[in-house]
Amino acid sequence: MAIRANPKLITELEIYGAQDVSKCYHCGNCSAICPFSKEPYIFPRRSMRSLQMGLEAKLESDLEPWLCYYCGECSAECPRDAEPGETMMSLRRWLTARYDFTGIARLFYLSAKAEILAVILVALITGAGFLLYGFSQGSITQYNGPDAFLPASSIHIFDWILAAVLLALLLTNCARMWWFTVGRDTKVHVPLSAYITKIYLLPMHFFTQMRYARCEQKRPWVIHLVLMLSYVTMLVLIMFFLAPMWSGPAIDWRVHVFGLAATAGLLVTTIVFLRKRLKKTEVQYQHSHETDWMFLVLLIVVAATGLMQFTLHRVGLETAANINYVIHMMAVVPMLLLEVPFSKWSHMAYRPLAMYFADLKTEAMVSKEREAVRAPQAA
């Protein structure tokens, strides 16, 4: 098959945040410094090369960008200041856009204006919808009870519908990711049994991020893990324990201890990341894409309004609590609807999946080699 090269690929990637890819002179310093670089996944140099050569199809089927946690050592030590770490980051953005069949992700990455507009639009629709619904069947002064402005049961149904939509979108994109990276790879065949026996890797990578812990610096791993676990805790609480969270003004500590801890985790970590991105002292936070800011801003607004919700409701300011809740949802819905399937949030799914796929492919390659060694002996 002929190999197609896209000479403009670097220019395209630059919009996704790639810095000085063309400066790279392929010394291999970055691959040598990276604790994850191991056959058959040698990076970041090989990705730099593919980019310089414009090998779009190859990059699309690469798992390497997801195996990188961006500790920044490669960029800090790069003798050409070619920023291989940022290249991997921009490739993750580019791949997110590639996996997304709707084209929305691509639009958001290429145009900050489009993303901001979309967030505002979804926020306004959400706000209007919730207000209309509230006024149509309840009183704004009531938080709980039969005349509640926004009854917990209705919210719960709304949450599940939203979750279903998100899951459908994300799973479709994950399926496309599988097809690009494993499914259509004719050189490696992964047997079904391997998918099943290795399935434990998915939750393991998701919940522990143990590969991140292998980077030279351990702190980023801790912060990242706290953020992710807080987020997941909150998600579980809202999806399964909304009723006890909602009731009040008495505090149900069985759920709220988790809720408050998760909120604190989210607030602290987002503030830490915002500070790092503003200060730019560490190499991995020197180049922030618009989508990175959007991700953090939405998250901090959600966490802050969530905490406010808890407080207003407990002190008995029910009208204020209702208004605050509408504002909370005006941040939550765009964050989930736009960020989870189409932007930075999606790495929550892609990264563990990529590590799972990478393991499967490596194993398949090794067994293939073993067979190749055994075959001549049999003959």
Partner 1 sequence: MRTGVYLCQTGTGDLDAVDLHSVVNYAGNLPNVEMVKDLGTMPALDIEALVAEIRAHDLQRVVIAGDSPGFFKPAFTTAMNNAGGDPSEVRLASFRQHGASFGIGTVRAKSVLACATFGVPYGLAAVPDTTATHPGTVVIGAGIAGIQAALEIADAGKQVFLVERTGTIGGHMAMFDKTFPTLDCAACILTPKMVAVGQHEMIDLMTYAEVEEVSGSPGDYIVKVRKKARRVDVRACVACNVCTEVCPQRAPSEFDSGIAERKAIYIPFPQAVPNAYLVDGPSCTYVQSDGAKCGVCAKKCPKGCIDLDQVDEIVELEVGNVVLALGYDVYDARKIERYGYGVLPNVLTALEFERLTNASGPTSGKIVTKTKRFDKRRKLEEWVFDAEDGAPPTSVAIIHCVGSRDANHNAYCSRVCCMYSLKFAHLVKEKLPDADCYEFYIDMRAFGKGYEEFADRIKAEGTFVVRGRTAKVTAQDGRMVIRGEDIVSDRMVDFPVDMVILAVGLVPAAGAAELALRLGIQTDTDGWFSELDYNSDPTDTERGGIAVAGVCQGPKDIPDTVAQAAAVAAGALKSMALGRGLDSRASVSLSDIEARAAELTRV
Nearer residue to partner 1 within complex by CB, 37 or 173: 37
Q: How far is 39 from 50, CA to CA, in rounded Å?
A: 17
- Provide CB contacts within 8 A for 304, sequence distance 6+: 267
Q: Closest distance between partner 1 and the C-beta of residue 121, in Å?
A: 33
DSSP 250: S
Torsion of CA 151, 153, 154, 158, to 10 degrees: 130
Q: Closest distance between partner 1 and the C-beta of residue 91, in Å?
A: 18
Structure tokens at 167: 């899951």
Q: Closest distance between partner 1 and the C-beta of residue 33, in Å?
A: 4
- Determine the length of the chain: 379
Nearer residue to partner 1 within complex by CB, 59 or 266: 59
Nearer residue to partner 1 within complex by CB, 49 or 314: 49
Q: How far is 15 from 258, CA to CA, in rounded Å?
A: 40
Nearer residue to partner 1 within complex by CB, 38 or 184: 38
Q: Which residues bind partner 1 (CB under 8 A)?
A: 25-33, 37-39, 42, 45, 77-81
Q: Closest distance between partner 1 and the C-beta of residue 42, in Å?
A: 6
Q: Closest distance between partner 1 and the C-beta of residue 286, in Å?
A: 15
- Provide CB contacts within 8 A for 259, sequence distance 6+: 233, 234, 237, 245, 310
Q: Closest distance between partner 1 and the C-beta of residue 138, in Å?
A: 57
Nearer residue to partner 1 within complex by CB, 26 or 176: 26
Q: Closest distance between partner 1 and the C-beta of residue 18, in Å?
A: 17
Nearer residue to partner 1 within complex by CB, 187 or 254: 187
Tokens 């991997």 correspond to: 88
Which of 176-197 are b and which e, b meaning 16 or more Cβ less than 10 Å from the residue's Cβ? ebbebbbeeeeeeebeeebeee
Structure tokens at 346: 């999606």
> Is residue 78 helix, strand or coil?
coil
Q: Closest distance between partner 1 and the C-beta of residue 111, in Å?
A: 21
Q: Which of 185, 206, 191 is nearest to 355 (CA)?
A: 206
Handedness of CA 57, 63, 69, 71 (dihedral sign): negative
Nearer residue to partner 1 within complex by CB, 32 or 128: 32
Nearer residue to partner 1 within complex by CB, 38 or 275: 38
Handedness of CA 288, 290, 295, 301 (dihedral sign): positive
Phi/psi at 255 (5° precision): -100, -35
Tokens 């200060």 correspond to: 279
Structure tokens at 361: 């492919």
